[in-house]
């Protein structure tokens, strides 16, 4: 495994921010199982968890006006480095040319940080995109393989809390799951008040 300090990387006209390799899940489809990078990026395995200053410096090295969106995603769950995540989003929002910010998350921030966190995040990100992965608990656990036994319930609570914030709240599933799971996901999403996005499975 090659390690580096690639905190930011580009995919098309979007900038991605990689602030941690920690994650309480072990998803069957995780891109970390397929190699060291994403979509042609250099290695996203970090030599160490970056500090707020290191993340700010990495963002400063980019021309933000080039991007249509900045997405916190990377090779780990961003809310596992919550203070740095919030600092980076606040810092970006001070820039005049900052495009919309999106957080891609597994929705387990409340369990990771041992408190309710949607209100802190919903005022910083334009979009919060939560990986639903499946519409039923048994399938969710089979696909996401979380270390928390109550992950499915906590992810839903986090989602319904996000819906009440200014952030646009989206839940995602990949298009290779059975139609019955997509239908169940759609029902669950509707119940929580979020928008379902069925995304193409491409990794
Ligand atoms: S939540 Fe994301 S980083 Fe964590 S295992 Fe699943 S796909 Fe990988």
φ, ψ dihedrals at 125, nearest 5°: -110, 140
The answer to whether position 14 is within a domain reads yes
CATH number at residue 37: 3.20.20.70
Tell me, in angstroms, the distance from the centre of ligand 1 to residue 152's CA. 14
Task: Give me the mean pLDDT over the 121-127 stretch.
Answer: 98
Phi, psi of 46 (to 5 degrees): -90, 140
pLDDT value at position 202? Answer: 59
Say if 3 falls within a structural domain. no
**Is the entire prediction scored with pTM above 0.85?**
yes
Answer yes or no: is pLDDT of 41 > 90. Answer: no
Q: Which residue range(s) make up the domain with 20?
A: 8-199
Residue 61 domain-assigned?
A: yes
Confidence of residue 38 (pLDDT cuts 50, 70, 90): confident
Domain assignment present for 87: yes
Q: How many domains does the chain have?
A: 1
pLDDT of residue 177: 87
Which of 53, 54, 31 lies closest to 174 in space, CA to CA? 31
- Measured in Å, residue 106 CA sits from the centre of ligand 1 at 7
Question: Of all protein residues, whose CA lies closest to atom 6 belonging to ligand 1?
Answer: 27
Residue closest to 127 by CA, chosen among 178, 181, 170, 63: 170
Q: Within a domain: residue 2?
A: no
pLDDT above 60 (res 203) = no
pLDDT of residue 37: 83
Q: Flag whether 110 is in a domain.
A: yes
The DSSP call for residue 194 is P
Residue 76 near residue 105, CB atoms below 8 Å: no
Does residue 159 come out as left (phi exceeding 0), alpha (psi in the -120 to 50 range) or beta? Answer: alpha
Do 124 and 95 form a contact (C-beta atoms < 8 A)? no
Place of tokens 């995603």: 73
Look-up of token digits 């319904």: 160
77's CB contacts (< 8 A; 6+ apart) are 20, 22, 23, 24, 25, 105, 106, 108, 112
Residue closest by Cα to atom 7 of ligand 1? 30
| CA–centroid distance, residue 182 to ligand 1 (Å) | 19
Q: Is residue 191 in a domain?
A: yes
pLDDT digits (tens, 9 = 90+) for 63-72: 999 999 999 9
pLDDT for res 176: 85
Nearest atom in ligand 1 to the alpha carbon of residue 74 is: 3
Mean pLDDT, rounded, for 151-164: 98
Distance 76 CA to ligand 1 centre (A): 6
As given in the structure block, the two tokens for residue 77 are: 């769950």
In-domain check, residue 182: yes
Distance 97 CA to ligand 1 centre (A): 30
Query: What lines the ligand 1 site, CB under 6 Å?
Result: 23, 25-27, 30, 32, 76-77, 106, 131
Which residue has the CA at smallest separation from atom 8 of ligand 1? 30
Q: Look up residue 31 and give its DSSP letter.
A: G
């Amino acid at each position: 495994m090659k390690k580096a300090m690639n905190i930011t990387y580009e995919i098309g006209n979007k900038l991605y921010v990689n602030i941690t390799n920690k994650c309480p899940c072990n998803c069957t489809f995780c891109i970390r199982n397929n190699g060291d990078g994403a979509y042609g990026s250099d290695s996203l395995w970090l030599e160490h968890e970056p500090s707020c200053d290191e993340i700010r410096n990495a963002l400063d090295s980019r021309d933000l006006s080039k991007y249509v969106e900045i997405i916190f995603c990377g090779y780990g769950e961003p809310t596992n480095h919550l203070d740095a995540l919030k600092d980076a989003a606040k810092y970006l929002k001070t820039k005049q040319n900052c495009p919309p910010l999106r957080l891609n998350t597994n929705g387990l921030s409340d369990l990771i940080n041992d408190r309710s966190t949607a209100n802190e995040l919903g005022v910083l990100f334009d979009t919060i995109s939560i990986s639903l992965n499946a519409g039923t608990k048994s399938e969710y656990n089979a696909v996401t393989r979380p270390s928390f036994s109550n992950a499915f319930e906590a992810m839903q609570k986090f989602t319904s809390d996000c819906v009440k914030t200014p952030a646009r709240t989206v839940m995602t599933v990949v298009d290779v799951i059975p139609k019955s799971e997509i239908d169940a996901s759609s029902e669950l999403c509707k119940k929580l008040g979020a928008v379902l996005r069925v995304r193409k499975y491409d990794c």
